[in-house]
């Protein structure tokens, strides 16, 4: 018997660490979304969080194309996803395509931080969503050229990732054993000693 949405949330959340924002531990990337719209007021807060992200020269190179299930933007984004992602992402009420300018507006030079900045803004978006009880799942598995063409995105912008957004659904609704197993699997992370270094390959003393 698949776990319920409430049970899977317990399995997925990271162990709480005193002083770390609860949204960071509660956020995870589900594939099953409930058939329930996300109120506009919440979406505004979620994009507001992204808006206040830091960026190189405060260029705010990010743009977010947002589609609501049933509209043309949503259909276009969904159609660019690879088959594996299409199989589950179409249950989400909202699909977002993150786009970044590759040139600095202030001098026309290449902005090599734009994808970094887009990712940072997307991260704030996902955390704000988690804080509001809204789930997100980002995807790199889509046809970037097709997305660029479908939205006539100018060539000095680059597409980043697609993010599915909505309320957590029941794992059983995925209807596919492999996906249900992924939905129920505990999350894992590298230890701090592997990622925080004082010299290459040398863990920092924190
Ligand atoms: C940039 C990016 C691309 C991703 N691409 C996909 C994808 O194409 N399909 C998918 O199912 N999950 C995708 N994921 C989700 C990751 O697999 C997931 O974030 C990772 O396993 C960690 O799990 P967690 O987000 O639940 O902590 C992507 C995540 C990110 C940030």
* d(C-alpha 198, C-alpha 146), whole Å: 42
- The mean per-residue pLDDT over the stretch 21-43 comes to 98
Q: What is the pLDDT of residues 42-63, one digit of tens each?
A: 999 999 999 999 999 999 999 9
Backbone angles phi, psi at 30, to 5 degrees: -80, 165
Residue with CA closest to ligand 1 atom 30? 138
**Among positive and negative, which fits the CA dihedral 49, 54, 58, 63?**
negative
Cβ of 115 closer than 6 Å to ligand 1, yes or no, is: no
Cβ 85 vs Cβ 174: under 8 Å: no
Average pLDDT over residues 143-151: 98
With the most atoms of ligand 1 within 8 angstroms of its CB, the residue from 11, 27, 29 to mutate is 29
| Percent of the chain clearing pLDDT 70 (strictly above) | 100
Instruction: Give the whole-angstrom CA distance, residue 156 versus residue 154.
Output: 6
**202: β partners:** 199
Whether residue 168 contacts residue 134, with contact meaning beta carbons closer than 8 Å, is answered with no
Q: How confident is the model over 103-124, as pLDDT tens digits?
A: 999 899 999 999 999 999 999 9
Q: What is the pLDDT of residue 82?
A: 98
Indicate if ligand 1 lies below 6 Å from the C-beta of 56: no
Average the pLDDT over 57-73 and give the result: 98
Q: Tell me what the mean pLDDT of segment 18-38 comes to.
A: 97
Q: Is the CB of 29 under 6 A from ligand 1?
A: yes
Q: How far apart are CA 145 and CA 43, in angstroms?
A: 27
Average pLDDT over residues 61-87: 98
pLDDT at 1: 87
- Do residues 163 and 126 touch, judged by C-beta distance below 8 A? yes
**Rounded to whole angstroms, how far apart are CA atoms 12 and 195?**
22
Distance 57 CA to ligand 1 centre (A): 28
Q: Is the CB of 187 under 6 A from ligand 1?
A: yes
| Ligand 1, pocket-test mutation among 32, 130, 139, 171, most atoms within 8 A of CB | 139
Q: How much is the pLDDT for 133?
A: 98
Amino acid 197: pLDDT: 98
Q: Is the CB of 60 under 6 A from ligand 1?
A: no
Mean pLDDT score, 55-73: 98
Q: What is the pLDDT of residues 127-136, one digit of tens each?
A: 999 999 999 9
């Amino acid at each position: 018997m698949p776990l319920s949405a409430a049970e899977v949330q317990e399995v997925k959340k990271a162990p709480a660490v005193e002083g770390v924002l609860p949204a960071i531990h509660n956020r995870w990337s589900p594939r099953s979304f409930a058939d329930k719209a996300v109120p506009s007021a919440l979406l505004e807060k979620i994009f507001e969080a992204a808006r206040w992200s830091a960026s190189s020269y405060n260029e705010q190179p990010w743009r977010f194309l947002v589609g609501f299930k049933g509209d043309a933007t949503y259909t276009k984004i969904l159609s660019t996803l690879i088959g594996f992602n299409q199989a589950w992402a179409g249950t989400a009420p909202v699909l977002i395509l993150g786009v970044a300018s590759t040139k600095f507006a202030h001098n026309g030079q290449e902005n090599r931080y734009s994808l970094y900045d887009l990712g940072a803004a997307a991260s704030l978006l996902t955390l704000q969503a988690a804080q509001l009880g809204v789930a997100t799942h980002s995807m790199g598995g889509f046809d970037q050229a097709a997305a660029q063409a479908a939205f006539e995105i100018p060539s000095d912008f680059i597409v980043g990732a697609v993010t599915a957004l909505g309320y957590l659904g029941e794992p059983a609704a995925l209807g596919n054993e492999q996906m249900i197993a992924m939905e129920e699997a505990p999350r894992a992370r590298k230890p701090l000693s592997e990622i925080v270094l004082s010299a290459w390959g040398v863990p920092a003393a924190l």
